[in-house]
């Protein structure tokens, strides 16, 4: 997420919402968008994740009200910016440099962030509803200031003071994920295997997610039967193994159902991707922790299709397509002019047929990008679509589409 979009993403609200709870003897969990867990040991603190860099200082201040011990070890559950980029804020001036642990794939992630910094800036701007800066000079996140000093492959057991930390690698939201169990405190830190809303296993703009392995990992956490769970996002579940088990089990079932149904359709003639996502029957879970308010099942289907197939959509004309501007001009010509297209967009919008309305709106804009009236209608339809969307991914991408159109800029 760029600095520009971070501002738009209500940092103040995160800071106001910071909550630090003691979840077990000497174990404190703080949430401000993402979770940070601190374990007190005789040797110093073990910190699991660090929060967004912009709010880490405030989290550290609250944590310091509970304990003044130096950071002995930091563990990154994965390399996302809301987990692995805030460690400096917790370090004491006079302390020894901490041991920093992550899965070995975290290093490739940071390299990739450097390689595609401009791209990441644009897609993160869209993911949070904004537009990328024209100069393309927004800082992309490459390596954190405190990179891992120790990496591991499959599993790693670390002893710090009187506590043991059993780290397990698994793939889920990312390929570099770690979750851990501390047996002496009966606490699991799940990383983003648990985010207290429907899993972010479909994110439309990001690299491959792993819903199958995600479900497997949830079952491995379940097998540990932890008493307390500190999630990557959301409130901790304290001293309630049954509630934890239910959440883990239903989460795994949700993912398995989507994956199984998608593969079934792929195996039945490999239809065009859009036919799969519009025809598949998706689960509609009632559980509060599976609400599709961030990501959504339709996007998880897309991730499964991508994983087992190629980039081609399955529609013959899209194998080697005409430039979109040319195609849009043909559609507008067939309609009898752009005014006719706009009329239809407005009718469909009024009827809340927004999927169709947006296709026509795109054609109108692509055929006549500098037409003020077209831009106004396009902004309206995408603002309406953003308003109607339940999941934040869609809501913000639609808001971003509206913002680009109102600035008269190509959606890029």
Residue position matching structure tokens 């047929």: 353
Q: Which stretch binds Zn ion (CB under 5 A): 32-40, 87-95, 121-129, 302-310?
A: 32-40
Measured from the CB atom, is 101 or 367 closer to Zn ion?
Answer: 101
* Contact assessment for residue 376 and residue 383, using Cβ atoms and an 8 Å cutoff: no
Measured from the CB atom, is 40 or 192 closer to Zn ion?
Answer: 192
Q: Does 176 bind Zn ion (CB under 5 A)?
A: no
What is the pattern of x (binds Zn ion, CB under 5 A) and - over residues 308-327?
--------------------
- Angular region, 123: left φ>0, alpha ψ -120 to 50, beta rest: alpha
* Shortest separation between residue 294's beta carbon and Zn ion, angstroms: 10
Greatest distance between any 2 Cα atoms in the chain: 77
Measured from the CB atom, is 1 or 63 closer to Zn ion?
Answer: 1
Looking only at residues 194 through 253 of this chain, which bind Zn ion when binding is defined by CB under 5 A?
Answer: 232
Residue position matching structure tokens 């004309």: 317
What is the pattern of x (binds Zn ion, CB under 5 A) and - over residues 34-53?
x-------------------
* Shortest separation between residue 33's beta carbon and Zn ion, angstroms: 8
* Shortest separation between residue 81's beta carbon and Zn ion, angstroms: 9
How far apart, in whole angstroms, are the C-alpha atoms of residue 221 and residue 120? 31
Measured from the CB atom, is 34 or 262 closer to Zn ion?
Answer: 34
Measured from the CB atom, is 26 or 51 closer to Zn ion?
Answer: 51
Full DSSP string of 86-100: -GGGG--TTSPPPEE
Residue 199 to residues 191, 300, 398, Cα–Cα distance (Å)? 12, 9, 21
Looking only at residues 59 through 118 of this chain, which bind Zn ion when binding is defined by CB under 5 A?
Answer: 82
How far apart, in whole angstroms, are the C-alpha atoms of residue 192 and residue 200? 8
By beta carbon distance, the residue nearest Zn ion is 192
Measured from the CB atom, is 98 or 172 closer to Zn ion?
Answer: 172
* Contact assessment for residue 12 and residue 30, using Cβ atoms and an 8 Å cutoff: no
Which of 121, 192, 295, 391 forms a contact with Zn ion (CB under 5 A)?
Answer: 192
Q: Can you give the length of the chain in residues?
A: 412
How far apart, in whole angstroms, are the C-alpha atoms of residue 150 and residue 171? 19
* Residues at the interface with Zn ion (CB under 5 A): 34, 82, 192, 232
């Amino acid at each position: 997420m760029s600095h520009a979009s971070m501002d738009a993403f209500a940092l103040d609200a995160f800071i106001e919402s910071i909550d630090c709870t003691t979840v077990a003897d000497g174990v404190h969990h703080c949430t401000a968008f993402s979770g940070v867990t601190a374990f007190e040991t005789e040797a110093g603190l073990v910190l699991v994740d660090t929060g967004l860099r912009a709010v880490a200082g405030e989290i550290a201040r609250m944590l310091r009200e509970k304990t003044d011990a130096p950071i002995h070890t930091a563990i990154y559950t994965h390399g996302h910016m809301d987990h692995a980029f805030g460690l400096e804020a917790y370090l004491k001036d006079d302390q020894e440099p901490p041991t920093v642990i992550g899965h070995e794939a975290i290093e490739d992630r940071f390299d990739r962030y450097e390689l595609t910094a401009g791209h990441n800036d644009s897609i993160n701007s869209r993911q949070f509803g904004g537009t990328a800066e024209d100069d393309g000079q927004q800082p992309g996140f490459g390596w954190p200031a405190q990179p891992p000093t120790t990496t591991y492959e499959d599993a790693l057991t670390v002893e710090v003071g009187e506590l043991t930390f059993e780290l397990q690698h698994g793939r889920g939201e990312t390929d570099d994920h770690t979750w851990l169990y501390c047996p002496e405190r009966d606490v699991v830190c799940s990383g983003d295997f648990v985010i207290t809303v429907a899993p972010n296993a479909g994110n439309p703009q990001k690299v491959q997610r792993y819903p199958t392995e995600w479900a497997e990992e949830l079952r491995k956490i379940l097998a540990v039967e932890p008493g307390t769970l500190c999630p990557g996002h959301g409130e901790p579940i304290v001293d309630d193994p049954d509630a934890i088990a239910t959440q883990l089990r239903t989460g795994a079932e949700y993912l398995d159902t989507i994956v199984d149904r998608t593969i079934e359709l792929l195996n039945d003639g490999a239809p065009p991707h859009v036919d799969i996502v519009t025809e598949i029957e998706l689960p509609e879970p009632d559980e509060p922790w599976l609400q599709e308010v961030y990501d959504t099942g339709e996007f998880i289907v897309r991730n499964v299709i991508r994983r087992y197939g190629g980039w081609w959509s399955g529609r013959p004309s899209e194998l080697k397509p005409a430039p979109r501007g040319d195609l849009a001009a043909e559609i507008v010509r067939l309609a009898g002019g752009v005014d006719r297209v706009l009329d239809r967009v407005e009718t469909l919008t009024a009827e809340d047929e927004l999927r169709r309305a947006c296709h026509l709106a795109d054609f109108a804009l692509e055929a006549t990008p500098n037409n003020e009236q077209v831009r106004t209608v396009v902004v309206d339809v995408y603002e309406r679509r953003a308003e109607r969307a339940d999941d934040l991914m869609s809501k913000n991408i639609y808001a971003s589409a509206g913002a680009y159109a109102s600035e008269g800029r190509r959606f890029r």
